[in-house]
Amino acid sequence: MIPVARRLTRLPPYLFVEIDRMKDELIKQGRDVIDMGVGDPDEPTPDFILKAAIKALKDRSNHQYPSNRGLMVLRVEIARWYKKRFGVILDPATEILPLIGSKEGIAHLPLAYVNPGDRVLIPDPCYPPYRTGTILAGGRPVAVPLLAQNDFLPDLGKLAKQAKGAKLLFLNYPNNPTAATADLSFFRDVVRFGQKTGVPVCHDAAYSELTYDGLRHPSFLQVPGAKEIGIEFHSLSKSYNMTGWRIGWVCGNKEMVSALAKVKSNIDSGVFQAIQMAGVAAFRDSGSHLKRMLKIYETRRDLMHRSLRKTGWPVTPLKATFYLWAPIPRGRKSKEVAAELLRKEALVATPGVGFGNAGEGYIRFSLSIPTQRVKEAARRIERLAVWPRRHSR
Ligand SMILES: *Cc1c(COP(=O)(O)O)cnc(C)c1O
C-alpha cells in the first residue's frame, strides 16, 4: 500500500458508506429508490443563461487562461447586485473574487490563514468543507454547537471565551443543514464579536435568495464595519440551478480576498470565462426565474410538512433553503432512522450526525427532487411513522 499523508487520514471517515451500500443494493433489486440525500437542484439551468453561455463559448477570446482576478464585467455585475439587493458597496477591483464554486474558495481559505495546530471555529452541524478545509491546512476544528433552543445560532458570548488565538470563524445563514435564518441584529453581534476578538469572520450566504413566506434574508456585509473584519462567500449554484457549472465568489475584506487570490493563483487558473459570462447573464435576470423556483420549493415543502405532521412528526415549516431538518425521537440514532427509512420505504435521507456531532437527533431531507417524487416520498413517510403518535419530546 502506498502511504498517504497524515492530513488525508485526519479527514473524518465517510459516514454514509452503509447507506450508499444499502441504496445500491435496493436499486439492484429493482426497488424504486427516492433520493432526498443530496442538495442539488433538479430543475435545469434557465434558458437565458444557456444562451449566454453558448454565445461566450463560441468567442475564442474565452478559450485561453482566464484573467487572474476574474472578468471585470462579472465583478461589476456582482457589485451591482450587492448594492441593489443589500445596499452594500463593493469595489470590483479589490473586494470581489470569482471562485470555481464557493466550495473551492471555502476549502482553500484556511491555506491562507491557518498554521499547523491553529484553531478554527466551525459550526456544528455544518456544510463539511469548513471542517475538511481546516484539516487539510493542518488546523484544528473547534466545534461551535448550533442548538435548537438558540434557533441554531451560536452563543457568541460563550464563543468569545474560546476565541482567543482562533484564526477564522465560519458561519452560514440561511443554514445548511438546519434551514435556520439570521437577522441583522445577529449579524451586528457577529461584527462586534469579530471586532472584540480579532477573529476574522467568513460568512457563507449560498442560500440568501432561497427564502419563503416573504422573508428577505440580509447579508452579513450589511452591518457597518463588517468589511473590516470579514468576508462573505456566495454562489450561483443554488439560486440558478448551476451546481455543475462551478461558479461562485467571495467578497468583502480586501486583504482576505487578496490572500485567497494568492493561494488560488498557485493552484488553479480561475473560472472558464464562458462560464463567467453565463454568470453575468444570471445577474441580469429580471427575477422571474427565482420567483418560479421559490414557488416550486414551497409546494414541495408544504407536501412534506403536511405528511410529517400527519404522522405526529414535530416539524416546523422551513423559512429558507431546501432542507427539511427533522428531529427524530429521543434515544434513536440518526443513522439508524435513515437506514430504516431506506430499508422499509426505499427513501434516502441524510443522518444528521454526518454534519457533526451536534447534528445527532435529526435527519435531513432535501427538497431538490421533482415534485411528483416528493409527493411519493411524503406517502412513504406517512406509512412508516417514525414518531409514535403521542410522543413526549
Ligand atoms: C451548496 C452549498 C454551497 C455552494 O457550493 P458551490 O461550490 O458554490 O456549488 C455553499 N455553501 C453551502 C452551505 C452549500 O450548501
The overall average pLDDT reported for the chain is: 95
How many angstroms separate the alpha carbon of residue 206 from the centre of ligand 1?
Answer: 6
- Say which residues have a Cβ less than 8 Å from residue 308's Cβ, sequence separation at least 6: 315, 324, 326, 378, 381
pLDDT band with cut points at 50, 70 and 90 for residue 381 = very high
Locus of grid cell 447573464: 281
SS3 350: strand
Q: Is the pLDDT of residue 393 over 70?
A: no
Residue 236 has pLDDT above 90, yes or no: yes
Cα–Cα distances (Å) from 380 to 18, 146, 281, 377, in that order, read 21, 30, 40, 5
Q: Are 262 and 102 in contact (CB under 8 A)?
A: no
The residues near 77 (Cβ < 8 Å, ≥ 6 apart) are 279, 280, 283, 284
Stated pTM of the model: 0.96
Is the CB of 75 within 6 Å of ligand 1?
no
pLDDT at 391 over 80: no
Residue 127 alpha carbon, nearest atom of ligand 1:
13
Mean pLDDT of 166-184: 98
Closest C-alpha to ligand 1, atom 11: 206
Percent over 90 (pLDDT), the chain: 93
Residue 299's pLDDT is what?
Answer: 97
Query: Is the CB of residue 176 below 6 angstroms from any atom belonging to ligand 1?
Result: yes
Does 217 sit in the ligand 1 pocket, CB within 6 Å?
A: no
- pLDDT tens column, 343-377: 999 999 999 999 999 999 999 999 999 999 999 99
Residue 127 CB–ligand 1 contact under 6 Å: yes
Q: For residue 232, how far is its CA from the centre of ligand 1 (angstroms)?
A: 12
Mean pLDDT for 116-140 is: 97
- Please tell me the distance between residue 235's alpha carbon and the centre of ligand 1 in angstroms: 7
The answer on pLDDT for 238 being more than 60 is: yes
Residue 192: Cβ within 10 Å count: 15
Closest by Cα among 237, 233, 275 to 257: 233
Give pLDDT tens digits for 258-309.
999 999 999 999 999 999 999 999 999 888 999 999 999 999 999 999 999 9
Q: Does residue 384 carry a pLDDT above 90? A: no
- pLDDT for 392: 44
How much distance in Å is there from the Cα of 391 to the middle of ligand 1? 35
DSSP state of 43: S
Answer whether 101 contacts ligand 1 (Cβ < 6 A): yes
The mean pLDDT value for 151-158 works out to 97
For the segment 69-79, the average pLDDT, to the nearest whole number, is: 98
Contact 120, 141 (CB under 8 A): yes
- Quick one: average pLDDT of 214-229? 97
> 8-32 burial by CB neighbour count: b if 16+ within 10 A, else e?
eeeeeeebbeebeebbeebeeeeee
Residue 182 CA: distances (Å) to CA of 197, 205, 362: 21, 11, 20
| CB contact burial 151-173 (16+ within 10 A = b; e otherwise) | ebbbebeebeeebeebbbbbbbb
User: Is the CB of 281 inside a 6 Å radius of any atom of ligand 1?
Assistant: no
Of 204, 209, 323, which is best to mutate to test ligand 1, by the most ligand atoms within 8 angstroms of its C-beta? Answer: 204
Quick one: cell of 255?
A: 486583504
**What is the pLDDT, as a whole number, of residue 122?**
98
Alpha carbon of 78 to ligand 1 centroid (Å): 17
Query: How many Å lie between the centroid of ligand 1 and the Cα of residue 208?
Result: 11
Give the pLDDT score at 20. 87
Atom of ligand 1 nearest to the CA of 236: 8
Which domains are present in the chain? Answer: 6-44+288-386 (3.90.1150.10), 47-283 (3.40.640.10)
- Please, what is the end-to-end C-alpha distance for the chain in angstroms? 49
**Is the Cβ atom of 172 under 6 angstroms away from ligand 1?**
yes
Atom of ligand 1 nearest to the CA of 172: 13
H/E/C letters for each residue in 61-116? HHCCCCCCCCCHHHHHHHHHHHHHHHCCCCCCCCCEEEECCHHHHHHHHHHHHCCC
Grid look-up 414557488 returns: 295
Is it the case that residue 390 has pLDDT exceeding 70? no
Contact 204 CB / ligand 1 (< 6 Å): yes
**Angstrom distance (rounded) from CA 182 to CA 173:** 6
Q: What is the mean pLDDT of residues 234-262?
A: 98
Mean pLDDT on 146-155 = 97
**Of all atoms in ligand 1, which is nearest to the CA of residue 247?**
8
Average pLDDT over every residue of 13-33? 88
246: alpha, beta or left, given left = phi > 0 and alpha = psi -120 to 50? Answer: left
